[in-house]
Amino acid sequence: MSELAAAQRHLRRADPVLAQIIDRCGNCTLQPDRRYFASLVEAILSQQLSVKAAATIHARFQNLLRGRVASAGILQLTDAQIRAAGISRQKMGYLRDLSTKWQDGLLHGRRLARLADEEVIAALTQVKGIGRWTAEMFLIFSLGRLDVLPVDDLGFRNAVKKAYRLRKLPEAGRLRQIAEKWRPYRSVATWYLWQSLENKPR
């Protein structure tokens, strides 16, 4: 049995609310995206933007880099080139900080993949513009970690409120309490709850 199938089986038995969502949504399709650096760049570019605006700016930035999103290429771009793609001065600083740390070997995809979850979060949040939420999304969607609980994610909180018929948005402590029975597959449970809102998690 695959790990995702095992996760679905565990969650179905552990939580009747999730069992109904799993029946409705079908099999979990979470697959790690191994483009580690490019995923972090995309996360920075999409901050505080609509999906459409983020996609436009990301496409322009990829064109600047001739389709190859790499730290060396970013560090060779001028301020004017980056700003022409519609990227703010603040995000330009974030991208350069990420690229410098990647180039210097302070961050590295394969090394990150060997670290424990909290160590990955500690490493990534050293980069300007990357907070805990972005690091948690990286754990789930890039490293494929199956037991991450993003308690600050608004979509997740809304989904839990709706699915468990809570009167108000749950705070971190309540979310952890509800999620205790999902271990060691809290990422998969979170994915299903995102799906229950009929939103794409990314």
C-beta separation of 101 from 126 below 8 A:
yes
**Distance between first and last Cα of the chain:** 27
DSSP symbols for 115-181 = S-HHHHHHHHTTSTT--HHHHHHHHHHTS--S----TT-HHHHHHHHHHTT-SS---HHHHHHHHGG
Whether the CA torsion 201, 111, 3, 178 is positive or negative: it is: negative
Looking at 15, 104, 147, 153, which residue is catalytic?
153
Distances (CA, A) of 171 to 48, 117, 153, 155, 196: 22, 21, 11, 13, 19
Instruction: Decide if 104 is catalytic.
Output: no
Residues marked active site are found at 153
